[in-house]
Structure 1
């Protein structure tokens, strides 16, 4: 679903252009991440994670409900003793009523 993108700078314009913002800087959604599995390679200073995500949305005239579900695949690197995201793949498998979450 969509082209591959890299880096924070490339993601922000896409998210801002496609997401409806209801309150200052918030689309009124909650992303629930479950079944998280992390594989760490301490020697290489890298890690990979897999998880499921369900996106819920609620508005005054839109009862709380799931609007999307899918998977995250993440990669991390340890730099200066801190773990940092290096990659996130998002695969959305189920889509509900996103009419109030995404722009047409």
Structure 2
């Protein structure tokens, strides 16, 4: 294997790792109610589209939309799975399966599942989201769901 091939393979692995980290950081930012982390994931012209939950443009708009949702859904637990990532130079796309359990202050416990459609770009050496759109598969209220052990955050749920 020549040096050029080895460098290309290393760049592909580093890009994939950076993109997977963005996907995980997104879930963590929402679950931890962390606007500072959420802000770092997007390029300035990015768009987040969560049909039924809102849309945000640019990091500030995305954080504002998230803050609106955090008021309505103060407890979230995201699971991201099965990322299919395609990288072509400094542009990448992905689909990511998602399952989220959250407590809606009006509906109570709800499970949401679907698929994220993502676009990323590497600019000035940094991978960030340029677009993320959620395709809802199921929104299921969990009537009579009560945790029997775990976080004190769910006391009284």
Q: TM-score range by the shorter chain?
A: 0.5 to 0.7
**Which residue number corresponds to residue 7 of structure 1?**
58
**Which residue number corresponds to residue 79 of structure 1?**
123
| Shift of residue 98, structure 1, vs aligned partner | 7.6
**Which residue number corresponds to residue 80 of structure 2?**
33
Q: Where do 5+ consecutive residues of structure 1 fail to align?
A: 59-64, 100-104
Q: Residues 1-104 of structure 1: matches in 2 within 5 Å? A: 1-2=51-52, 5-20=56-71, 27-42=74-89, 45-57=90-102, 67-97=111-141
Which structure is higher in strand share?
Answer: 1
Larger radius of gyration: 2
Which structure is higher in helix share?
Answer: 2
TM-score by length of 1: 0.67
- Distance (Å, rounded) in 1 between the aligned partners of 2:132 and 2:82: 16
- Classify 1:10/1:20 alpha carbon distance in 2 versus 1 (closer, same or farther; 3 Å): same
TM-score by length of 2: 0.47
- Distance (Å, rounded) in 2 between the aligned partners of 1:66 and 1:28: 11
